[in-house]
């Protein structure tokens, strides 16, 4: 089968690979129909390299069930499915860890995803446990379904917040996770949705996605702008999705007293917090929330079912975020293009194996 394998930093190859087979009675084989590039894929391509050289990577994908193991009960061959890439203790055949015993799967001590240490979605076929696939309504197409995973990442974080409909939200960083945050903020009924970035093209996308206000933090003082927008209070919910060491400190100043600051981005360098920003945590009695992955109990969690429900009802859509529709063979060139043009505003890049 066709696949993309990462051998080292900036060493991505379009190669033939063996088609996966069912090795456990609870496994299914998914024929991949759409698979997207995640920001973490870009980091691993350019900065980190693979966990295992030559691994098929990719973890945001959807497809059709092509084979099932003998113990599979909930899906059948031909079913259209979204996929959850997370693998926890029971999937890895290790003793159940402290957190898995409590059904806190996002905190699993052995947590990994397909595409890291197990073959992933940049291929024509993938093997997964049955519990990692979710049947799709007829109204949800494959490319939208491939974005359920990043949507669930955002929902996982926002569901931790105390914010409610009518509150204001600030999102820092208008990449794909930032745009999905804006979409979820609309679904959840937030009032003012304020997007911050240093790229005008990204802010234009944020406005088109549904942000009520946009702020280029290189051109104006964001604190002054936010004060004017929020009646000098700040926002009840602030989401850091840029992964910038600078914004990871600044976000504390954007929240109102008693507000929630949710970290969805992972900083790419050390974070040094100036006294002014650190004091905001204490003086405002902020709730600082780390949000990792997209899974909860019952596995894979409400994040997934809520996304599918919102998609099928038309409350949320993802297709407008897709900027590139490519074949797997285009993988090496598009990864190089994206990582060498970081000032260019790329949307979601989607591959279509088996097209």
Per-residue pLDDT of the chain (355 residues; tens, 9 = 90+): 999 999 999 999 999 999 999 999 999 999 999 999 999 999 999 999 999 999 999 999 999 999 999 999 999 999 999 999 999 999 999 999 999 999 999 999 999 999 999 999 999 999 999 999 999 999 999 999 999 999 999 999 999 999 999 999 999 999 999 999 999 999 999 999 999 999 999 999 999 999 999 999 999 999 999 999 999 999 999 999 999 999 999 999 999 999 999 999 888 889 999 999 999 999 999 999 999 999 999 999 999 999 999 999 999 999 999 999 999 999 999 999 999 987 777 899 999 998 7
Note whether 274 and 324 are same-domain residues: no
Distance between CA 182 and CA 296 in Å, rounded? Answer: 22
pLDDT on residue 266: 86
Tokens 């900083």 locate to 267
pLDDT on residue 146: 99
Query: Could you tell me if residue 222 is inside a domain?
Result: yes
Can you give the CATH number for the domain in which 74 is found?
Answer: 3.90.180.10
pLDDT on residue 345: 76
User: How many domains would you assign to the chain?
Assistant: 2
Note whether 262 and 235 are same-domain residues: yes
Note whether 186 and 283 are same-domain residues: yes
pLDDT on residue 138: 97
The b-or-e profile of 81-93 (16+ CB within 10 A means b, else e) is bbbbbbbbbbbee
Distance between CA 339 and CA 337 in Å, rounded? Answer: 6
Note whether 336 and 266 are same-domain residues: no
Distance between CA 83 and CA 28 in Å, rounded? Answer: 11
Note whether 282 and 174 are same-domain residues: yes
Distance between CA 79 and CA 81 in Å, rounded? Answer: 6
330, 198 contact by CB (below 8 A): no
pLDDT on residue 355: 79
Note whether 130 and 166 are same-domain residues: no
Note whether 122 and 162 are same-domain residues: no
Distance between CA 164 and CA 155 in Å, rounded? Answer: 13
Phi and psi at 156, nearest 5°, equal -55, -40
pLDDT on residue 140: 98
pLDDT on residue 228: 98
Whose CA is closest to 281, among 311, 264, 261? Answer: 261
Answer whether 0.85 is exceeded by the pTM.
yes
Q: Range of 76's domain?
A: 2-136+318-351
Query: Could you tell me if residue 298 is inside a domain?
Result: no
Residue 173 sits at the vertex; the CA angle it makes with 171 and 177, to the nearest 5 degrees, is 80
Can you give the CATH number for the domain in which 193 is found?
Answer: 3.40.50.720
pLDDT on residue 344: 77
Note whether 157 and 132 are same-domain residues: no
């Amino acid at each position: 089968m066709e696949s993309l394998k990462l051998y080292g930093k900036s060493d991505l190859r379009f190669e033939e690979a063996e088609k996966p087979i069912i090795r456990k009675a609870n496994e299914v084989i998914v024929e991949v129909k759409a698979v997207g590039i995640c920001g973490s894929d870009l980091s691993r391509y350019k900065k980190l390299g693979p966990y295992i050289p030559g691994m098929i990577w990719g973890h945001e994908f959807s497809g059709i069930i092509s084979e099932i193991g003998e113990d599979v009960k909930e899906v059948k061959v031909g079913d259209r499915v979204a996929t959850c890439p997370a693998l926890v203790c029971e999937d890895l055949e290790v003793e159940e860890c402290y957190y898995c015993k409590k059904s806190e799967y996002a905190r699993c001590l052995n947590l990994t995803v397909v595409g890291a240490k197990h073959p992933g979605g940049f291929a024509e076929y993938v093997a997964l446990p049955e519990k990692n696939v979710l049947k799709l309504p007829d109204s949800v197409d494959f490319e939208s379904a491939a974005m359920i995973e990043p949507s669930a990442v955002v929902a996982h974080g926002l569901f931790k917040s105390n914010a409610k409909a009518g509150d204001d939200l600030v999102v820092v960083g208008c990449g794909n996770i930032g745009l999905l945050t804006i979409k979820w903020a609309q679904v959840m009924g937030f009032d003012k949705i304020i997007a911050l970035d240093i790229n005008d093209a990204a802010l234009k996308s944020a406005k088109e996605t549904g942000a009520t206000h946009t702020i280029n933090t290189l051109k104006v003082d964001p604190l002054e702008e936010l004060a004017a927008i929020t009646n000098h209070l700040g926002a009840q919910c602030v989401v850091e999705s840029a992964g910038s060491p600078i914004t990871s400190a600044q976000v504390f100043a954007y929240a109102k007293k008693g507000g929630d600051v949710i970290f969805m981005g992972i900083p790419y360098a050390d974070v040094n917090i100036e006294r002014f920003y650190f004091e905001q945590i204490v003086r405002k009695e902020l709730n600082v929330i780390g949000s990792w992955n997209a899974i909860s109990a019952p596995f894979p969690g409400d994040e997934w079912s809520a996304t599918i429900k919102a998609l099928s009802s038309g409350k949320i859509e993802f297709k407008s975020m897709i900027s590139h529709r490519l074949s797997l063979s285009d993988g090496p060139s598009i990864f190089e293009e994206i990582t060498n043009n970081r000032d260019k505003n790329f949307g979601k890049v989607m591959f279509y194996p088996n097209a």
